[in-house]
Amino acid sequence: MARPTNVQRAGFQTATVTRIVKESVDARTFVLRPHEQPITYRAGQFCTFRVTVDGEVLYRSYSMSSAPETDSELMTTVKRVPGGKVSNWMHDNLTEGDELELGPVTGRFCLRESAAPLLGFSGGSGITPILSLAKSVLATTDRRVRLLCADRDADSMIFGEALTALTARYPGRLEVRRHLDSSGGFLDADAVRAFVGPDGHGEAYVCGPEAFMEMVENALPGPGAIYSERFGTPVPATPPVSADPIAGGAAVVSPEIGPSGTHTSVSAATPATAAPPPQGETGTVTILLNRKKKTVPRRAGETLLESARRAGLVPPFSCEAGNCATCIAKVTSGHATLRVNEALTDDELDEGYVLTCQAVPDTDSITVDYE
């Protein structure tokens, strides 16, 4: 297969794991020292990691738990999940002094100019970017911060000590309310509204499993803005509220709900359409994902990621900017051109891998395999 053209190369750099901190029974913070260049990031953003597990190169994005304004070290916090190839590999194999490959930082789950209180809602490891945001906003503004953190049980609570220390450091400005599923059942809309109380004008930041996020988003009374951090792969229809958001790790995406309340998320699958291709367009896009095979008519200028969504699938993605490789898949027939490539190596391109968020087919028909 011909290699994609029009690509920009960039990349991953090596980082040393300088410390590993046990945050809970199944969550670890990995403190990282990049070798080549400092990582510039904003609170709430995430970074893509490239690791080789059993000979397979895998990409996962994990949010920073550090904040640039308060932490001299770069930290990410990863929760172990059943079947999570990368998260479990990191837990089982990484020791201090080991090296990782670290990609560019991206994400839009960031602070906006505002004087309103920040309301953080986390389910399980969704607390990771919210801790980063809280540290940043407390250090750089006078805003109040109120967090409602849902966890499976006491042993699963992440950042207990860090949040206790922050609360002591910012008396009157930081409130942390804990909810444990084990004693209180799953968090519900009434509890969310009761927590918000008179702070409906506050800016809400929501991160956790899909069902948790949907419940919180629907419960929030407004009129404050809602910003959400979603995860880019399918989750069970009714996951436990405080379960880790993603089975394979933590491929984070950053759609948001804007101040108008317009949901701009792009993570939801759209139903397959039987609409005919525009005039002049022929051919098909066939996508294999999670043991499903779907074919849709090819549309001019549409990326493979967009085609996959149009086919009713829920493909993995994060940055949608060609930076993170979360959306990687292999073209097994046909050819596509990448608009931007800031993540894949020449070898990977030669093998047929593409960033589906940037890959536009330039053959009539194409088949892409996410497996």
Binding track over 13-52 against ligand FES, x by CB under 6 A: ----------------------------------------
Kindly state the smallest distance separating residue 337's Cβ from ligand FES, in Å. 14
Per-residue interface string for the shown chain with ligand FES, residues 292-331, x marking contact by CB under 6 A: -------------------------xxxx-xxxxxx----
All residues at 6 or more sequence positions from 351 whose CB lies less than 8 Å from its CB, including other chains = 330
Of 219 and 319, which has the nearer Cβ to ligand FES? 319
SS3 207: strand
Buried b (16+ CB within 10 A) or exposed e, 314-333: bbbbbbbebbbbbbbbbbee
Q: Closest Cα to residue 105, out of 67, 145, 159, 131?
A: 67
Do residues 6 and 137 touch, judged by C-beta distance below 8 A?
no
Of 244 and 320, the one with the shorter C-beta distance to ligand FES is 320
* Least Å from the CB of residue 270 to ligand FES: 17
Q: How far is the CB of 266 from ligand FES (least distance, A)?
A: 10
Task: Give the C-alpha separation, 284 to 3, whole Å.
Answer: 20
What six digits make up the tokens of 90?
């990191």
Ramachandran angles phi, psi of 156, nearest 5°:
-90, -5
CB of 49 to ligand FES, least distance (A): 13
**3-state SS, residue 138:** helix
Residue 343 engages ligand FES in binding (rule: CB under 6 A): yes
Question: Closest Cα partner for 278 from 292, 297, 295?
Answer: 297
Query: Applying CB under 6 A, which of residues 163, 357, 366, 368 lies at the interface with ligand FES?
Result: 357
In the complex, the smallest distance separating the C-beta of residue 230 from ligand FES, rounded to whole angstroms, is 12
**Minimum separation from the CB atom of position 220 to ligand FES (A):** 27
Residue closer to ligand FES, measured from CB, 61 or 242:
61
**Binding mask of the shown chain, residues 221 to 260, with x at each position contacting ligand FES by CB under 6 A:** ----------------------------------------
77 touches ligand FES (CB under 6 A)? no
Q: Could you give the residue ranges of the DSSP H alpha helices within the chain?
A: 85-93, 127-140, 160-169, 181-184, 189-196, 210-219, 304-310, 346-350
**Could you tell me if 368 and 289 are in contact, meaning their C-beta atoms sit under 8 angstroms apart?**
no
d(CA 330, CA 138): 44
C-beta of 24 vs 326, nearer to ligand FES: 326
- Report the C-alpha gap between 281 and 291 in whole angstroms: 28
Total residues at interface with ligand FES (CB under 6 A) = 13
Q: Which of 150/319 has CB closer to ligand FES?
A: 319
Residue nearest to ligand FES (CB): 357
Residues constituting the chain: 371
3-state secondary structure of 353: strand
Q: Exactly one of 206, 355, 360, 366 binds ligand FES (CB under 6 A); which one?
A: 355
**Residue ranges in contact with ligand FES by CB under 6 A:** 317-320, 322-327, 343, 355, 357
